Structure 1
Amino acid sequence: MTTSIAGQRILGIDPGLQTTGFGVIDAHGSRLQYVASGVIDTTHHARGDLPLRLKTLYEGIREIHRRYQPDVASLEIVFINVNPQASLMLGQARGCCLTALVSCDLAVAEYTALQMKQAITGHGRAAKSQIQEMVRRLLNLPNAPRQDAADALGLAITHAHASPSMNKLSAQGALKRKTHGMFRAGRSH
C-alpha cells in the first residue's frame, strides 16, 4: 500500500538462517520515512531442522508482505564464506526469502553488502555499528535498530536511492535481460 502516488513502499530483507532482518520504508523522491523493522527468528527450532526453519522464514516474509503491503523488495546478495557448509545453509535461507518475495508478486532488486555499505556510509568497509548509526540518522529514528534490521533498512534505503537511476536505464533499454545461455523448456540455448 503506497502512501502516495509519487512514492513507493520498499521492503528490505537481510537473509540469514537463524535471524533474517526486515525493514520497510516509504520513499517519496529523496524523502525517506520509516515504517517498520524487525527480525524473523528461527532459533527456537532445533538447529538441525532446516525444513522447519525455512518454513518459518517463508511464512514470516509472507506475513510481513500482508501486513505492510510493499511495492518492491530489496534483498542482499550473499557471498561464499570460508565454511562451505555455512555458505550452503545461508544460500538456502536466501533462496527461501527470494521465493517468498516472488510468491507475493514483488519485484526484487538485489544488492551486495558492499553496495549497501557504500550507499549508506560512503565506504564499503563500514562496521555494523556505523550502518546502524547512519540508518538511524537517515530515517530520523530515536534509537539505532538492531544489526539485522539495520542491514535490511539499509538495503531498502539503497534501493530508494538506486531505483530512479535504474528505472531510467531500463526505459532506455540499457538493462534488457540477455537471453543467450538461459534455459527454455529445460534446454540451454
Structure 2
Amino acid sequence: MTGIYRDVLPAIVRVLAADVIDNTAKQSWQKLIERKVDGGFRSLLSAQDQFEYDCLLHALLHRELSPAEWDVLHARYSTHYERRGKAIERLAQQVKSPAPTRFFECAVATWAIPRMKGKDGKRSTSVIVLPAKWYDINNWDDEARPDSTRSRWRRDIRKALDRLEEQAMVHVTEILAREKLLEAS
C-alpha cells in the first residue's frame, strides 16, 4: 500500500495529533466528510486504520528523528499544549545565542507560536496563542539594549530554528518516501 499521506506537513500534523485524537465513535455523516476531504488512497481506509497508520508513523518518526528534530516539530506543529510547551523549553537548550535567557526564551516561544491574525490573535478558542505582550520585543530585554542588537539576536535565533525545522522536514520527507507513504504526484 502506498500514498497514505498527501504531503509531508499534513502527515506531521496528523502524527503529532495522534496522541490526542478523539477516537470516540462518530456519526456516519462525519466519517463520510472526513474521508471525502482526505481523498486518495487514505479515503479507502477506515477511520481506525487511518488512526493506526498515524500512530505507527508517530512511533517511527520518534525513533528515527533526533531529539532536536522531534522537539522542533512538536514546538511548531503540535496541538497538545503541554507537549508543545515542553518541546519549546527543550528546544531553547538546543540553540546557542548571546542573548539573555529571558530574551532567548521569548524569541523561541514566539517563533514556535507566531502571532495570528484575528481578534486578539485568535481564530478559534482551541488555538494556542501567547498574550500580546509576548510578541513585543521591547518586553524581552530589561537592560534596554539597542534595537539593532535585539533585532540581530532575534533574527539569528529564528534562522537557527528555521534551519533545524528544515532539517527535520527533510528527514521526515526521506522517511515517508522510503516507507512509500506519500501519494505519487
TM bucket normalised to smaller: under 0.3
Larger RCO (CA within 8 A; separation ≥ 6): 2
More strand by share: 1
Larger radius of gyration: 2
TM-score by length of 2: 0.24
More helix by share: 2
